[in-house]
C-alpha cells in the first residue's frame, strides 16, 4: 500500500487513492495507517468500541464502527470547509477496536476505560467510533483523569440523563447522569443539541436542568440557524477542555435511518457538520460518534454521515495540535 506521507518526512497519511483503488485493502478509518504502523503513537487515535449491550430498543450498533470505516474510504485528505489537510497536520492513526465483554456491562465499562487510559497516556486524543452511548461514560472518565472535569456538548435526539433502565445503572440512556454524579463534567458548560420527541414526563427536563444542562432542540437549530447556535455553544464552552459526544440519531431518520432509537424531526447532516465547523476554535480534547446500526440502513446513508462527522471532529483536533506545536 502507498501512503501519502512517510514517517521520515511527516505524518503517515492515507493510502494514495490514485494508485490503490478506494475499495481495495484494509478498511481503516479514512484509509489511514494502523497505530502499530506508526510506532504505536499518534496525535489522534481513531478507535472502535463494538459494544451495544446497553441499548433499550434496536440492537446492532456493535457493527457501527466498521460501517463507519467502510464509508470513510471515500474521505479525501483535504478538508475545504476548514481549509486544512488534517492528516498532514498531525499523525492520525486507526487504533483498531476495544474488545469489550458483550455479556457483562460493568466489565465492559471498565475495559473501555482502561483502554482509553492507555491511548491517552500515549499522548493521543481519541476519536471513538461506537457502539452504543453507554461507552461515553468510561471515555469521559478517562478524559477527566487527564484534563479534570470537562465541558460537554452532547448531540442527540435524547437527553441520556435518565437514572436507570430495568434497574441497570449503565445503559445508553444513563451515561451523562452518571458522569455528573461522578464529578467528571464541568456543570457550568454542558449542553444537549438536537433533542426532540416525547419524554416520560416534564420531570425529565426538570432533572436535566438541575444537572446543569442547557438544551438546543432540533427546532431551535431550524429556527435560529447554525451560525447563531454555534456562537451560543462557543460562548457556553469558552476555553474549557471540551468533549463532544454525538449520537447519530441527532439526525433526522431521513439522514440517518440506521440507528437504534430514531425520532422524527431531526437535524440534517448539513446542519450537524456546519455546527461542528463553527466549533473549530474550541479546545476539543476527544470525541465520539455512536449508535450507528448498519443493519437498518442498507444504503449506508447513516455510516456516510457518521464518517463525515468523525472527519470534521478529527480535522478540528489536528488543527489544534498543529497550532499548539507552532506556539511552543
Q: Known binding site: residues?
A: 133, 156, 158, 160, 247, 249
Residue 81 DSSP label:
T
Distance CA 274, CA 225 (A): 10
Cα–Cα dist 310/308, whole Å? 5
Report the phi/psi class of residue 291: left, alpha or beta, with left for phi > 0 and alpha for psi in -120 to 50.
Answer: left
128 contacts 140 by C-beta, under 8 angstroms: no
∠ CA 305-311-316, nearest 5°, is 130
What is the Cα Rg of the chain in Å? 18
Q: Which residues of 54-67 are buried (b: 16+ CB within 10 A; e: fewer)?
A: bbbebebbbbbbbb
Cell reading at 228: 447563531
Starting at the edge strand found earlier in the chain, the sheet holding 213-217 runs 92-97, 44-49, 125-130, 283-290, 241-247, 150-155, 185-195, 213-217
Instruction: Write out the binding residues for Mn(2+).
Output: 133, 156, 158, 160, 247, 249
Contacts for 1 with CB less than 8 Å, ≥ 6 apart: 15, 20, 25
Amino acid at each position: 500500500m502507498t501512503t501519502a506521507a512517510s514517517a521520515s518526512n511527516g505524518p503517515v497519511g492515507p493510502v494514495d487513492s490514485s494508485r490503490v483503488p478506494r475499495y481495495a485493502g484494509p478498511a481503516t478509518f479514512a484509509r489511514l495507517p494502523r497505530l502499530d504502523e506508526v510506532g504505536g503513537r499518534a496525535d489522534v487515535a481513531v478507535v472502535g468500541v463494538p459494544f451495544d449491550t446497553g441499548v433499550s430498543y434496536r440492537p446492532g450498533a456493535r457493527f457501527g464502527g466498521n460501517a463507519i470505516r467502510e464509508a470513510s474510504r471515500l474521505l479525501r485528505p483535504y478538508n475545504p470547509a476548514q481549509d486544512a489537510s488534517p492528516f498532514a497536520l498531525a499523525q492520525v492513526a486507526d487504533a483498531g477496536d476495544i474488545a469489550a465483554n458483550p455479556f457483562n456491562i460493568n466489565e465492559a465499562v471498565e475495559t473501555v476505560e482502561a483502554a482509553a487510559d492507555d491511548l491517552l497516556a500515549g499522548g493521543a486524543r481519541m476519536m471513538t467510533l461506537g457502539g452504543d452511548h453507554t461507552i461515553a461514560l468510561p471515555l469521559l472518565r478517562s478524559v477527566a483523569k487527564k484534563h479534570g472535569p470537562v465541558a460537554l456538548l452532547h448531540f442527540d435526539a435524547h437527553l441520556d440523563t435518565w437514572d436507570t433502565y430495568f434497574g441497570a445503572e449503565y445503559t445508553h440512556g444513563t451515561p451523562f447522569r452518571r458522569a455528573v454524579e461522578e464529578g467528571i463534567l464541568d456543570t457550568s458548560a454542558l449542553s444537549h443539541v438536537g433533542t426532540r420527541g416525547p419524554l416520560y414526563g416534564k420531570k425529565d427536563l426538570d432533572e436535566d436542568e438541575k444537572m446543569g444542562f442547557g438544551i438546543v432542540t432540533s427546532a431551535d437549530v431550524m429556527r435560529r440557524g447554525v451560525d447563531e447556535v454555534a456562537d451560543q455553544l462557543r460562548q457556553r464552552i469558552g476555553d474549557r477542555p471540551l468533549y463532544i459526544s454525538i449520537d447519530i440519531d441527532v439526525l433526522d431518520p431521513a439522514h440517518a435511518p440506521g440507528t437504534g432509537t430514531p425520532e422524527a424531526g431531526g437535524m440534517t447532516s448539513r446542519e450537524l457538520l456546519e455546527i461542528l465547523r463553527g466549533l473549530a476554535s474550541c479546545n476539543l480534547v476527544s470525541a465520539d460518534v455512536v449508535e450507528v446500526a448498519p443493519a437498518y440502513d442498507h444504503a449506508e446513508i447513516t455510516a456516510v454521515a457518521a464518517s463525515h462527522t468523525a472527519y470534521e471532529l478529527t480535522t478540528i483536533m489536528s488543527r489544534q495540535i498543529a497550532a499548539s506545536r507552532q506556539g511552543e
